[in-house]
Every structure is written in C-alpha cells, then in structure tokens.
Structure 1
Amino acid sequence: WGCGGNLKPDYYANLYSNYENFLRAPKHNKPKIIASGGDSTWTDVLSRELKGRTTGISIHQYTIAGATWETKGAALGFKEGEWISTLANTLKMDRIIKDHLAVLDKNDPEKKIGLMVDEWGTWYADADASSSALYQQNSLRDALVAALNFHIFHDHAERIPMTTIAQMVNVLQAMILTEKEKMVLTPTYYVFQMYVPFQDARSLPLAIKGNTSYTLGATTIPGVSASAARARDGKVYLALVNTDPHQAVEVAVDVAGAKVNAAAGKVLTSAAMDAHNTFQNPLAIKPAAFSARAAGGKLSVKVPAKAVMVVALEE
C-alpha cells in the first residue's frame, strides 16, 4: 500500500496469503504475522480475506502542524496557532481508529485480529542536520502529542495490542538525539518514562465530567485528556494532559468504591511551548515531582498549563 507498491487490497491479500501459507517455522517459535494495511477500505478487505495466522492489520498515522504535507510546520519557533493545530490533528487518531475498529468488529467479531498502529508521531519540516534526513527537534508540544495518543490507545486497548512510535533516535519524534559521543533525552522520552506503569496494566473506565475546552480562532479541543489503569504493582495510576498553554486546571479525582487520600508522581511542563533539550543544555525540560493530599475528604489535582502529569493514587 502506498510506497509499498500502490497495490490494490484484493491483490495484496492474495500475495500475503501465499507468504503466510508457506512461511515455515518451528511450532514452538512461530512468528506473529501482521498484514500491511492502509485506510479502512484495506482493513475491510484484509479482515475478510485473511483468516489464517494473521495477528493484526497495521496502519500508519502521522501528526503535522499544518493543513497539508507541503506545510507540515516547523519543530521549533512556532506560534500558538500551530500549537493547537498540532494537538487537534493528533486527536484525529481517535476517529481514525474507530473507523477501522467498526470494520473489524463487523468482519472479525471473535476479535482474533488486532489493529496495529505501527507508525505514529509528529512529522515536521526537515531540519538542517547531518545526522539524519528526517532529523527534527523535539519539544514540549511533542510530549503532549505522545500523551494524547497514549490515552486514545488505552481507550481501545482491547482491540489495539501494539503501537509503535516512529522513530527512536535522530528521526522524526525521537526519544533520543545524538551528536557524536553526546546524547540528549527529549520531552517525548520523558513521557514514555512517566507512562511506564501503564505498560502491562489493566485499563480502567474513566469519565471526565464538566471538561474544560481550549479554543483559538476557529479551533476548539478538549482542555483535559485523561487515562487510568491498575498497574502490576496494584496501584491505580492517573494520567492527565492539560492542552491549554495559558491556564492551569483543577481536576477533582473520584474513584468509585475507594477513598483516595493522596496522589504522587511526576509532571512535565515548561514556560515555553517549544521548550526543548539541546546538547548545550540537555536538562532544560524534564519531569518534576508532584504530590497532592485530600482536603475535606476530596482529592483535587492542579494540572499546570501545557502539561503532562502521571500520578499514583493512594487509597
């Protein structure tokens, strides 16, 4: 599909079935086989045609700041208009996933085939760097993009067994940037680090009542995004994103069937929307400790403007 040869889905399905059938491997070490998908039309054809050892169907979805690939926007030095447009564009991931899952639920009600979002992340105009043709800096904006996508993936955890950001080092929304012997961790790296408790955790249902909104011009997005899970350590973790770059927000936390006394964890934010780490200043932006205690039997968490927060709730 696309740069893979511009194949039609029916023709690709036939080719795929041949490889799937003849790929030999020991019974104790058989690979999981994933079909290369595209739009929901591809998912429709593949989920009807491929019933063998197929574990999943992959899709790619990148986030840009502009309206077209020719106007992807810059990684740094952007105005607030590109802050909100980037976040609004990344939130489209939810609608895209729902479109694919509606097709899968129709064709694969037994839920044997997963949707694999195996390329996602931000893609801006190329920077002038010798390390990679797709090298770009990584700012606080990218950290929020990562967290917002995490929350979308968590909401569909039953049907999305795998997601992989592209890439990791020196390319697009990287977690690590290098220059010869030097290495710097990006805001996206820190978000991945903060969300470690969500890996192999159990997603918990969550509702945001009376959510705020963030508006600029003709664009409006939810002010707060949230996700909750019970981790392997037994604790309930709550993740919060405040998309508004100007206003902090108070979030009242209510856990059904439990009295929450405190919250403790990390928060990632900065004064500048494009705050980033460099080889000269590698710790310009990093997570800070956060804690809050219940007052009057109620727990309220104040999320700073343009921030990502992950806390463990203490009952």
Structure 2
Amino acid sequence: MSTTTTAVINLDVPGPTISRHVYGHFAEHLGRCIYGGFWVGEDSDIPNEGGIRLDVVEALRALSIPNLRWPGGCFADDYHWRDGVGPREDRPRMVNSHWGDVVEDNSFGTHEFMKLCELLGAEPYVNGNVGSGTVREMSEWVEYLTRGDDSPMASLRREHGQDEPWKVPFFGIGNEAWGCGGNMDAQHYASLARQYGTYVRNHGENQVYKIAAGANVDDYTWTETLMKALSCLGCSRTPNNFFQGLSLHYYTHTGPWEDKGDATSFTREEYYLTMKRAARIEELVRGHAAIMDCYDPERTVGLIVDEWGTWWNVEEGTNPGFLYQQNTLRDALVATVHFDVFHAFADRVAMANIAQTVNVLQAMILTDPDSGALVLTPTYHVFEMNTGHHDAQQLPVHLKGDLPTREVEGSALNLLSASASTKGDTALVSLSNLDAEGPRTVVLDLRGRAVSAFSARLLGASDIQAHNTPEVPDAVAPVLHTGIRTHALGLEVDLPAHSYVTVSLELAP
C-alpha cells in the first residue's frame, strides 16, 4: 500500500542559482574512456570527425554537457602535455602506470581534447601536473592554450595548426595530492598550490578559474589547510586569489576497497547500504562547506566535487585496471541523491564531475568493443531528465508528514529524496523513492504561483538490478508518467518502488 508525504514548495521564493556545471563530466586516460570511447581514430569504420566518435558526441550533446575534465585523475600527474601536441606520428609513447600499465601513443592530446569540447559544446576543464611536473610546464600549457599574440607558446600552437587561442575557463592545480598526485601532506601541497596558482595566468580575455586539489572524503583538516592558504579565520576581506575553488572526492561502494561489491548482482541489504553511503555526500558537503564558511563567509570560493559516483568491482573478464562496470537502476538513484544535495548547497557547490563519462565507473555511455554498439546507461537518463535544473534557481523543498526511513548501519536512511528549481515561468521538481519494496505518494503543496500546466516522467524498472545492454538498450529508460493528478494543495504524484520522477511545471506569469 502506498503511503503519503507532503512536500511544500514556495514557487515564489527562489534561492541561489544551481550552476549547470554541477552536471559536469570527467574523461581520464583510463581503460576505454578515451581510446575506444571518445577516440576511435580517423581510420575507424565507426563514423567520426577527426578520430572523435560522433555517436558518443551526439548522445552527450543531448545532455547539454556543460564541462569536461581531462586528462585525469591520477593520470594528470604523470602527463606531460608537450608529448601530446604536434604531428601524431612524431609523438612519443608513454606508460599509463596507474591504469592497466598499458603503453599509450599520445594520439589523443591537447588539440584533440579541445576539438572534442567544441563538438560537445562543453567548456574544457584541464587538469595540470603538479606531482611530476614543473611550474614552468604548467604555466606554458596555459599560455599554449589561451594566448593570442606571438609569444613562444602561442607560436608553437600555430605551428601545430591552431591559429586562434582557445577559451579554457577551468584549470586544476594537480589531482589527489594526498595520494596518487604525490603523497603530500596538506601544508606542503597548500604551499605548492599557491606557487603553481601564481603562474596559471590569465592571457588576453581568458579568465581562468583555478581549482586546488582538495580533500579525500572527510579529511576536513586538508580543507582547512587550503582555506588558510587563502584567508584567515574571521577575516572579512576577500580571500587571496591563488585559486578560486577546491575539490572534494567521494565514491560510493558497499565493500572494502579490495572488494567494493558487484555492479549487477547485489542483495536488498546491499542496495540499502549503497543508498546510505550515497546519502553521506550531504554530511561531507555540509562539513567541508562549514569549514570554508569560517574563512570565506561570503562564499566566493567554490567547492568542486570533481570525482563522485559508484565504484564497483570490474566486470568479469575485463582488465582490472580499466575499471569497466555495468550501470543499473541502483546507480541512477545514487546520482539522484547526489544531485539533490548539490542543489541544496548551490551557494557553495560550484561544479561537480561524475566519474566517468564513457566505459569507466559510473558511466553515461558504454561502447561494445566488438560490435561497436553504444548503450545509454540509467545514469545517463538521470542527467537528461535534469537538464531543466541547469542554471535555474533553487527552490527549497520542505518535507512533512509521514517521512519514510529505514535503519541502515545503525541509523536512519531517508527513503525519499527531493529537490526543485525554477527558471522564468517554469519549475522542475525531482523526486526519488529509495524504498526498494513499496510505492509512495507525494503531495506537492505548491505555493506562491499558479500552475497552468504540468507533466511528469518516470525512470524505473521492475527490478533494482535492471540495466541496459546492446541486446536490451531500453530496460531502464524514461517514460511519460501517468501517476500524477491535481490535488487541493497542488499536485499528487505516485512514486513506484525504487524509482525517479521529474515533474515539469508551467507557471502563470
């Protein structure tokens, strides 16, 4: 039997803007994300433009993909950009020691990445090398990318076929400096971030938003150390401008690091544990944001969650270093929980990047290496259903009445997650029923503006293990939802077990 919860939404009291960049993506030189995912080469039978796979581009354009992070990840601190420019036949090979210990030919480099961003309509987020690189190397890469006159690096870029400089709005100062990016302590990295950030310069009209390599999970000391590098406790002045954002990495899995759990074969208990682990993102964002508020009360420094998502054991028979996993309805609900939190903290979370876009971890797209088939995952559909939240103003959702919970790991897991936003004369409400066993009805108590029209879409399946394959590509795909009707307070929405629903509203002027 379905039970009812009321969600109060004041349509005329908008909050901060939800940056479209929280719907960002991540493409590392890892497994088949770049080679075999985005990049097939100009001689491939798969339709491509300059070697970039066009069906992947078309699918991602439908998400209005706002930004793409590259080349890593751990790979970024092994990557030397000069090896990936110039004629491909002259580029040196390198060992990708982090991911599969494979040899790469550097055929996908700076120019190819910037062309990919152009085809996607996405803004580039380039991650520089602090771990094994130099200040000069990073500074010259920014000059190569963004300078328009006859400087040495601008001239080199022209020799390689690109006359005009590119716009590069986001640049990362290393990655995971506490781990694969150098195994540094917080104070050492904070000093390097100030130093390297000084030399990541704005050239011409290009303004770079510099992102420091921030904390792993709940390392609040790391965040405080970076904030101290910008400001002092209780200072009212604007923080120093060495960097404008700092990252946070958090992955969802149910088992220990050595055995994280299976992507498609899991119990009901493991499902709920997954949702509990995913919901922890609220605790982490709230905790890091609270520390940032002490040093930056005006919230000018952004929290950048540039690695998040599920991390399961690799699919049987695949290279363990390639991190290829399937993607079920469970993964889609992990994404909806994260987005509700990112929306709630829109005044601090400036960007987020799911890991990763193609063929790696919680991917949008899976490509079959034998047939060339392309599969859109359940997580892809969450991103598509949420495009209405891009650059919209957050609307707080107040839940009251019968609030469903389940005890997991000794504390309560909320089984209903929600968020909402408004843009012009429209609004979008997102509702997740995390209950694997029972349906739920939500009454939307809509206040402040009249609703002139409404519609709803549903992402669900009969089984929480449901996933898409080349043979069954739409096992989990959005459909028009008929379980919505008018109510004295606004609207009444039925949520099947383990489902995600978006409600689109047309608002009277």
Instruction: Identify whether the pair has TM-score above 0.5, normalized to the shorter chain.
Output: yes
- Give CA deviations for 1:170-219 in whole Å, capped at 9, x if unaligned: 10000100013210000000000000100111111111112222346856
C-alpha distance in 1, partners of 2:190/2:490?
55
Compared CA separation, residues 260 and 223, structure 1 to 2 (3 A): farther
Shifted more, 180-189 versus 293-302: the winner is 293-302
Letter in 2 for 1:168: T
Compared CA separation, residues 298 and 25, structure 1 to 2 (3 A): closer
Residue 226 of structure 1 is matched in structure 2 by: 418
Compared CA separation, residues 234 and 156, structure 1 to 2 (3 A): same
Residue 313 of structure 1 is matched in structure 2 by: 505
Compared CA separation, residues 8 and 301, structure 1 to 2 (3 A): same
Q: Within the alignment, does 1:279 sit opposite 2:470 as a pair? A: yes
Letter in 2 for 1:97: V
Q: Within the alignment, does 1:43 sit opposite 2:232 as a pair? A: no
1:148 is aligned, of 337, 344, 348, to 337
Residue 108 of structure 2 is matched in structure 1 by: none
What is the correspondence of 1:166-315 to structure 2 with a 5 Å cutoff?
166-180=355-369, 181-210=372-401, 211-215=403-407, 218=410, 220-231=412-423, 234-260=425-451, 263-291=454-482, 292-296=484-488, 298-315=490-507
- Give CA deviations for 1:49-93 in whole Å, capped at 9, x if unaligned: 132241100010000022x21231100111101100000001011
SS of 1:209's equivalent in the other structure is strand
Compared CA separation, residues 129 and 150, structure 1 to 2 (3 A): farther
C-alpha distance in 2, partners of 1:282/1:228?
29
Residue 276 of structure 2 is matched in structure 1 by: 88
C-alpha distance in 2, partners of 1:161/1:217?
31
Which structure 2 residue ranges, 5 or more long, are not aligned? 1-177, 231-239
Letter in 2 for 1:152: V
What is the correspondence of 1:19-168 to structure 2 with a 5 Å cutoff?
19-38=196-215, 39-50=219-230, 51-66=240-255, 68-130=256-318, 133-168=322-357
C-alpha distance in 1, partners of 2:213/2:358?
24
Letter in 2 for 1:141: R
Residue 5 of structure 1 is matched in structure 2 by: 182
How many residues were matched structurally?
313
SS of 1:310's equivalent in the other structure is strand
Q: Within the alignment, does 1:18 sit opposite 2:195 as a pair? A: yes
SS of 2:284's equivalent in the other structure is helix
Q: Which has the higher contact order (CA 8 A, sep 6+)?
A: 2
Compared CA separation, residues 215 and 45, structure 1 to 2 (3 A): closer
Q: Shift of residue 290 of structure 1?
A: 1.4
Letter in 2 for 1:179: D
| Conservation of the 8 A alpha-carbon contact between 1:260 and 1:294 | no
Q: Shift of residue 220 of structure 1?
A: 3.5
Q: Shift of residue 237 of structure 1?
A: 0.9
| Conservation of the 8 A alpha-carbon contact between 1:10 and 1:45 | yes
SS of 1:255's equivalent in the other structure is strand
Rg larger in structure: 2
Compared CA separation, residues 266 and 129, structure 1 to 2 (3 A): farther
C-alpha distance in 2, partners of 1:296/1:103?
43
Letter in 2 for 1:58: S
| Conservation of the 8 A alpha-carbon contact between 2:194 and 2:243 | no
Which structure 1 residue ranges, 5 or more long, are not aligned? none
C-alpha distance in 2, partners of 1:294/1:135?
44
Q: Give the structure-1-normalised TM-score.
A: 0.94
Q: Give the structure-2-normalised TM-score.
A: 0.59
- Give CA deviations for 1:208-244 in whole Å, capped at 9, x if unaligned: 112222346856311211001003x531111000000
C-alpha distance in 2, partners of 1:52/1:218?
43
RMSD: 1.8
Shifted more, 302-311 versus 12-21: the winner is 12-21
| Conservation of the 8 A alpha-carbon contact between 2:328 and 2:467 | yes
C-alpha distance in 1, partners of 2:208/2:449?
42
SS of 2:245's equivalent in the other structure is strand
Letter in 2 for 1:7: M
C-alpha distance in 1, partners of 2:489/2:268?
38
Letter in 1 for 2:363: A
